[in-house]
Amino acid sequence: MHQEPTVQHWHEYAIVSLAFVSTRLLLYSLGLQFNFSLDWMWLSDPADLQDRLLQTVFYFHAFPPGMDFLTGILLKVGGAHAALLALLTFWVLGLVLSNSIFYLTRASGLSARASFIVAIAFSLLPQSIYFEHLYLYEEPIAALLCFSAVLFHAALTRQSARLWLAFFATCAVIGVTRSTFHLLWFAVMVCLGLWFSTPRDRRRVLAVACAPAVLVVGLYVKNLIVFGTFSAFTYGPSSYAHVTVSHLTPETKAQWVHDRRLSPFAALSPYAGPREYLQVFSGTPPTNWPSQLTDLDRPTVHAPNFNHWVILEANRERNADAWYYLREQPIEYATNVLHGLRDLFTASTEWHPYTGTERSPHYQHRQVLGGYESIVNRLVHGFPIAPVGFYAFLPLVLIWAALRAWQLIRSSDSTTRAQGALLTLCLLNIAYVVGISSVFTFLEESRYRYQVESLIWVTTALCVADLVRQLSTTLRRRPA
């Protein structure tokens, strides 16, 4: 297919951008506010981020430090207007996401009109609006992941070292920001770049991947040296508890802890703070560690400090607990995963445990758009099987996309092969996030889906367009 409209007709992207900005200004006029909450468990204390950013990020082990670093920059640059700066940053991310969807659909063969409809319709989803107005990592990751697909396709079609560098750099930023995207995922992205590049370009692709790889590997090595774990974060075992020992009955859990088959930490909630952990921990605290690792609370936001050293120790034991559960209760674990897979495709706007109450992070959003949200959720998640809804058809879409990708990448035409490579990248990312979100954690899964929601929309739009073309061809061939 002809690629020129995708890369040269910039007025199309201007129209998408104008439509997006217009909708955001309208939402702002309706009273929709940005929830700039800084008491999330994956953030350090705001005062530390503003006054000792580099030290705080260096000694942050519980979660990947990307959002910590961004928060520190916003606080330093924005000062009293940090919330406004964060809102503008998230609007830019939403703009990037909308234009990336438009690019991907155009590059895959959809018309400008159809691509515009898909991009703007996605930007008007309740979950798109809600996450864009909540200081959480879902919107940045969704935008960066979709943009990385754009860079991947552009690098393939132009064979540009700069574009390959931008692609791998974006992947590296994703890898140090969201715990879902581990070092293995980054390695797969490098392998995809090598696989679809021409033999004479592979050495150059591998060379430009090295610098971004240093950023990702450096985080793992730093955590290994400082905290004794080769990982981007240490809170993972607490997430594993959601899908393993948290499903035990209180009686069984208490008995297993009593029999020392599980650690004492298994009796605690995965959301427990350092005070609760210290009640069951008998080890010796380390010396000469900074306050970011020893303070029980984050005083600025009056919340527990989940980067405390005792939680680091506890998660080592929780990891063993999860493996023990997996060995002893494999059938129950499989059942938990299946339930998680179902919950992954429920309404993304209802992910929070306090949905419907004033404690929900979307409470103010719902006051403005609650009626619209309810209508969309009923339409999307009511048929054919509630609460999954239209997502029940996703396996058919993915099968079509896999067959289509295989057909395209076998072509001798470089443009067609690039389309197949792009579809392959989208499929891998969708499958990866769905798998990770179901196998390694529980609760809040519908929020995780938003990371690849745009890629689901792109593949679905292509599938529907192909089906419409085939039906139209069949009808034209039918004798009068």
- CB contact burial 6-35 (16+ within 10 A = b; e otherwise): beeeeebbeebeebbeebbeebeeeebebb
User: What amino acid occupies position 115?
Assistant: S
Asked whether residue 313 is assigned to any structural domain, the reply reads no
User: Which pLDDT tens digits describe the chain residue by residue (480 residues)?
Assistant: 334 444 447 899 999 999 999 999 999 999 999 999 999 999 999 999 999 999 999 999 999 999 999 999 999 999 999 999 999 999 999 999 999 999 999 999 999 999 999 999 999 999 999 999 999 999 999 999 999 999 999 999 998 999 999 999 999 999 999 999 999 999 999 999 999 999 999 999 999 999 999 999 999 999 999 999 999 999 988 888 888 998 899 999 999 999 999 999 999 988 889 999 999 887 777 878 999 999 999 999 999 999 999 988 888 899 999 999 999 999 999 998 988 888 899 999 999 989 989 999 999 999 999 999 999 999 999 999 999 999 999 999 999 999 999 999 999 999 999 999 999 999 999 999 999 888 877 678 899 999 999 999 999 999 999 999 988 888 877 765
Secondary structure of residue 442 in the 3-state scheme: coil
Asked whether residue 473 is assigned to any structural domain, the reply reads yes
Asked whether residue 388 is assigned to any structural domain, the reply reads yes
Domain hosting 203: range is 4-233+345-477
Asked whether residue 357 is assigned to any structural domain, the reply reads yes
Residue 472: in which H helix or E strand, if any? helix 445-477
Q: How many domains does the chain have?
A: 1
Q: Which of 360-367's residues contact partners 24+ apart within 8 Å by CB, and which partners?
A: 361/35, 361/37, 361/134, 361/136, 362/35, 362/130, 362/134, 364/32, 364/33, 364/35, 365/32, 365/33, 365/35, 365/129, 365/130, 365/133, 365/134
Asked whether residue 275 is assigned to any structural domain, the reply reads no
Asked whether residue 270 is assigned to any structural domain, the reply reads no
Asked whether residue 182 is assigned to any structural domain, the reply reads yes
Q: Residues 349, 239, 286, 262: what is their CA dihedral angle, to the nearest 10 degrees?
A: 150
Asked whether residue 97 is assigned to any structural domain, the reply reads yes
Residue 232 DSSP label: S
